[in-house]
Chains A and B, each alone.
Chain A
Amino acid sequence: MYRYDEIDREIVDARTAEFREQVQARLSGALTEDEFKPLRLMNGVYLQLHAYMLRVAIPYGVLSSEQLRTLAHIARTYDRGYGHFTTRQNIQFNWPKLVDIPDVLDQLAGVEMHAIQTSGNTIRNTTTDPFAGAADDEIADPRPWCELIRQWSTVHPEFTWLPRKFKIAVTGSPEDRAAIGVHDIGLKLVAKDAGEIGFEVHVGGGQGRTPRIAAKIRDYLPANELLAYLTAVLRVYNLAGRRDNLYKARIKILVESMGADAFTQAVETTYRDIRGRELALPAEEIERVSSYFVPPPAGAPDEAPSNDRAFLTWREVNVKPHKVAGRAIVVIALKPYGKAPGDATAEQMEAIADLADRYGRSEIRVTKEQNLVLPHVEAAALPSVYEGLKAIGLATANAGRPSDIVACPGLDYCNLANARSIPIAQAISEALEAAGLDEKAGEVTIKISGCINACGHHHIANIGLLGVDKKGEEVYQLTLGGIADGDAAIGKIAGPGLSANDAIDAVVTCVQVFADRAELGETFIDTLTRLGHEPFKEAVYGA
């Protein structure tokens, strides 16, 4: 993992001190609420339905056990004993008091964390593959590049007052587990024949009200030119992005209105003007940052045989192959049946930190599916890890299975929501368990958003639900066929809006059709492509 040097520490400390003064200025009235609002947002502080919410950045989803323990401590001391992991690989605390927040930020700074730019019209936390550095299909580790982007984008003097928020995702695998197609900028590491690496650059993807798949604007960008190119994209956007209409302010709208070709040309011209020594990443710095992300040593060769059926199922579903011999990737699904997706209690976080220390090189990842991952577990220790997770109720064998549902906070927390998401997810999860569908159905993704802002990523769900408000009533729109990773696709609306109960039934029905009709080894998308949408619609809405 990356460790701060003096410069990093100084910048985070300076930012924390700056925000402490801003909070004081707000409390004393020197700053108006209108002035304070964007300042608090860019330090991760939201005003939610019931209280302030603090969103802490987990840079590209990588946590040390020490950091996870600090998050547990914050949850216990300043919140109600739990935290909520988000689809952006961050964690949110829903109940801190404004006056406490500078103290929380100090504690975070003590373990090299912060809440900088987790909100506001800024460059947000960069996201990546949760299996980075462990996946066996990786071209290059994306984390050094994410760290370089993290630093470059932090307190950027030019790009802190953008038209709208801005999200960058990086993938190092052809598989793409980072959903680069639905980000403002999606970067895909590619290798040239000579072995040099660079980036394929995609711009203008996004979800929300106008879901768009990003356009590829460059096939190959030399890796050390990354910052110059990002600066060019951001400058074109900062100058030309719309500021008159909140809903048209994202870069996807700019790319669409200019046309991908004209947009690309504007970026390339700016890039040519600004590239040079100062923006080029020096080889020494790339090497320094990369040196923090070396692969773990091989694990012990033997994995003890087991005939515990439950363990074996969990192993098959939640454990993924590692690129280093004798190691494995463990997905901890924060999706026990009937519980709120993505929530973890302080005790659970501490227990996971212990497991990471004991068996997994003290490292934890957060995924956009609102799960945690132990990326470098000793294969021989898998039974012990399983037992440890079972003890805290997190050994459900459902990673990637139907009940591994993603849901935004929705009406229970969010003041933009039209409808509830978490209770719907809980009810679906219970129904799926009752019907035994996790075992019967293969891979499928279900995602729920409480409004068109799409924080629950419903657009890119195989089966998506979107909460809408119809004359004061909560209604849900069902979408089918969305894909998050790789060849990203936006789901299509299946039919008229449904009541909460009907929506729950509809989702379970779709999973049932999939389970009944799938051929061996098919994913939901395979089956949907083969059969078309009709059989699913028919089952939900009748003939």
Chain B
Amino acid sequence: MALDSTRQLTLDPVEIPAERSPEDALHLAAGSERVDILFGSFKDGRGFSLAAHLRKAGFTGELRAVGPLLPDQEGALKRVGFDTVLSDRIDAGGRGVRVPFESVYQPDPTGGGTAEPAYRQRALVARGQHADALAEMLEGASPEAILARTLEEYRGRIAVLSSFGSEAALGLKLIADIAPATPVLFLDTDRHFPQTLQYRDALIERLGLSHVEILEPDPEEAAREDSDGQLYARDSLACCALRKVRPLNRALAAYDAVITGRKRHHGGLRGSVKAVEFDGERVRINPLAHLSASEVSERFSALDLPNHPLVEAGYPSIGCWPCTAQASAQGSREGRWAGQERTECGIFDPEPGKRAERAKSVRLI
């Protein structure tokens, strides 16, 4: 749920007593830059949940906790989403500065807090170490061997990302031969070439893939952010965020490992792709990483896989129709977002500002 900004922006705080319902609080806070939650007593914990609720619902203004609160509560108040605590008890008695706990057991309500909860810290370290070990073990292994091992290792928490683009059939075929029920995630941006959708359905049928998830943009968000359907022309990053990044992030929440189709021969950021990598959150399996362009096409014909209809028409890399142009070289990505600085779709990265630095984008199989 997001806040509408009908209310006039103002620096006068909106005052919300802690006993108001979360729905009321959200309504009152909408459009305001500063909200004071009024605590009647330091023992009344409702304000803690109210703050967590407002933050989770997307309130980004200043949140202040106002009332007879104790210095002992300041750390927790800040963790649930308050910026400031206004209380005449805070400095009473000269008790000095409270040192906040360094480690925590719980995530902050927005999930974007300073410290990860212990269970995630530990798990992510273990996941990274495990991925490194797998990468070492599978160095130089065949795509089949890489898939067999990782599909088993991450069973129940692994998915394939596929655009059903020009090279997708190869990876999907190998997966279908080992574990046809592996979830295949497809982003339906509503901007695909009709040929892609036909090709997708034909491949699913032919390979016997039994679990395909079609990910669509949230209809409410689409109506709000792209009411005229022309967002791609004004701001392609915002369009991709709406149609790819967010739907994919929602779907990926259920998975710890993803199989991608990235290959070193794509060049650019992909020149050094390894078979198994850890991106700080998930394990990425790139079973085709070391295949050259010609090896890909050899395998394509050896397995008698159908080509995407647009490949013949001169599109070596295929995405949404507004953002895909013809290009010269096979396997090349130069036709993607032609004339812009971008070469990647930004999937995986909800914050455009950090996109470059994190370089988390992937190429779909």
Interface check B1, CB cutoff 8 A = yes
In the complex, chain B residues whose CB is within 8 Å of the CB of A274: 56, 109
Interface check A502, CB cutoff 8 A = no
Contact assessment for A21 and B95 in the assembled complex, using a CB-CB cutoff below 8 Å:
yes
Contact flag A14-B93 (CB < 8 Å), given A22-B72, A238-B48, A282-B127: no
In the complex, chain B residues whose CB is within 8 Å of the CB of A15: 101
Contact flag A7-B121 (CB < 8 Å), given A239-B22, A278-B111: yes
Contact assessment for B105 and A152 in the assembled complex, using a CB-CB cutoff below 8 Å:
yes
In the complex, chain A residues whose CB is within 8 Å of the CB of B76: 155, 157-158, 160
Contact flag A273-B45 (CB < 8 Å), given A28-B93, A154-B105: no
Contact flag A39-B72 (CB < 8 Å), given A7-B103, A11-B105, A282-B120: yes
Contact assessment for B157 and A159 in the assembled complex, using a CB-CB cutoff below 8 Å:
no
Contact assessment for B1 and A273 in the assembled complex, using a CB-CB cutoff below 8 Å:
yes
Contact with B along A448-459 (1 / 0, CB 8 A): 000000000000
* B48, B70, B121: residue with the most chain A Cβ atoms closer than 10 Å: B48
Interface set, chain A 239-267, CB cutoff 8 A to B:
239-240, 243
Contact assessment for A238 and B107 in the assembled complex, using a CB-CB cutoff below 8 Å:
no
Q: How far is the CB of B217 from chain A (nearest CB, A)?
A: 18
In the complex, chain A residues whose CB is within 8 Å of the CB of B234: none
A163 to B19, CA, bound (A): 12
A235 to B52, CA, bound (A): 9
Contact with A along B47-91 (1 / 0, CB 8 A): 011101100110000000000001011011101100000000100
Contact assessment for B123 and A285 in the assembled complex, using a CB-CB cutoff below 8 Å:
yes
Interface check B294, CB cutoff 8 A = no
Interface check B328, CB cutoff 8 A = no
Query: Considering only CB atoms and an 8 Å cut-off, how many residues of chain A contact the other chain?
Result: 50
Q: How far is the CB of A519 from chain B (nearest CB, A)?
A: 50
**Category for how many chain B residues contact A:** 35 or more
**A6 nearest CB neighbor, chain B only:** B103
Q: How far is the CB of A15 from chain B (nearest CB, A)?
A: 8
In the complex, chain A residues whose CB is within 8 Å of the CB of B103: 7, 10-11
Interface check A30, CB cutoff 8 A = yes
A259 to B101, CA, bound (A): 39
Contacts across chains A and B counted by CB atoms under 8 Å: 139
Contact assessment for B75 and A157 in the assembled complex, using a CB-CB cutoff below 8 Å:
yes
Interface check A302, CB cutoff 8 A = no
In the complex, chain B residues whose CB is within 8 Å of the CB of A25: 93, 95
Interface check A389, CB cutoff 8 A = no
Contact assessment for A280 and B105 in the assembled complex, using a CB-CB cutoff below 8 Å:
no
Contact with A along B90-122 (1 / 0, CB 8 A): 001111000101111111110100000111111
Interface check B221, CB cutoff 8 A = no
Interface check B42, CB cutoff 8 A = yes
Contact assessment for B95 and A273 in the assembled complex, using a CB-CB cutoff below 8 Å:
no
Q: How far is the CB of B188 from chain A (nearest CB, A)?
A: 22
Q: How far is the CB of B250 from chain A (nearest CB, A)?
A: 8
Contact assessment for B49 and A235 in the assembled complex, using a CB-CB cutoff below 8 Å:
yes
Contact flag A157-B256 (CB < 8 Å), given A11-B101, A239-B21, A278-B120: no
Contact partner, A283, options B22, B79, B93, B157, Cβ 8 Å: B157
In the complex, chain A residues whose CB is within 8 Å of the CB of B45: 121, 158-163, 238
In the complex, chain A residues whose CB is within 8 Å of the CB of B157: 283
* B42, B75, B76, B121: residue with the most chain A Cβ atoms closer than 10 Å: B76
**A122 nearest CB neighbor, chain B only:** B45
Contact assessment for A283 and B119 in the assembled complex, using a CB-CB cutoff below 8 Å:
no
Report whether over half of chain A's contact residues are helix, strand or loop; otherwise say mixed. helix
Q: How far is the CB of B264 from chain A (nearest CB, A)?
A: 29
A31 to B93, CA, bound (A): 7
Contact assessment for B44 and A158 in the assembled complex, using a CB-CB cutoff below 8 Å:
no
Interface check A308, CB cutoff 8 A = no
Interface check A29, CB cutoff 8 A = yes
A8 to B117, CA, bound (A): 11
Interface set, chain B 129-147, CB cutoff 8 A to A:
130
**B40 nearest CB neighbor, chain A only:** A243
Interface check A400, CB cutoff 8 A = no
Interface check A193, CB cutoff 8 A = no
A136 to B292, CA, bound (A): 57
Contact assessment for B118 and A151 in the assembled complex, using a CB-CB cutoff below 8 Å:
yes
Contact assessment for A10 and B120 in the assembled complex, using a CB-CB cutoff below 8 Å:
no
Interface check A281, CB cutoff 8 A = yes
Interface check B46, CB cutoff 8 A = yes
In the complex, chain B residues whose CB is within 8 Å of the CB of A161: 42-45, 48, 73
Interface check B313, CB cutoff 8 A = no
Interface check A440, CB cutoff 8 A = no
Contact assessment for A30 and B93 in the assembled complex, using a CB-CB cutoff below 8 Å:
yes
Q: How far is the CB of B20 from chain A (nearest CB, A)?
A: 9
* A159, A239, A240: residue with the most chain B Cβ atoms closer than 10 Å: A239
Contact partner, A235, options B21, B44, B53, B127, Cβ 8 Å: B53
Contact assessment for A155 and B46 in the assembled complex, using a CB-CB cutoff below 8 Å:
no
Contact flag A284-B123 (CB < 8 Å), given A30-B93, A30-B95: yes
**B75 nearest CB neighbor, chain A only:** A157
In the complex, chain B residues whose CB is within 8 Å of the CB of A282: 119-120, 123-124, 127, 256
* 17 A–B contacts, CB within 8 A, in A order: A15-B101, A30-B95, A38-B43, A39-B72, A155-B101, A156-B105, A159-B45, A235-B52, A238-B45, A239-B46, A239-B53, A277-B111, A278-B117, A283-B123, A283-B157, A284-B126, A288-B126
Q: A18-B72, A158-B76 are in contact. List 5 more A-B contacts (CB 8 A).
A: A14-B101, A161-B45, A162-B45, A273-B57, A280-B253
The 5 closest A-B pairs by CB, nearest first: A30-B93, A161-B45, A282-B123, A278-B107, A157-B76
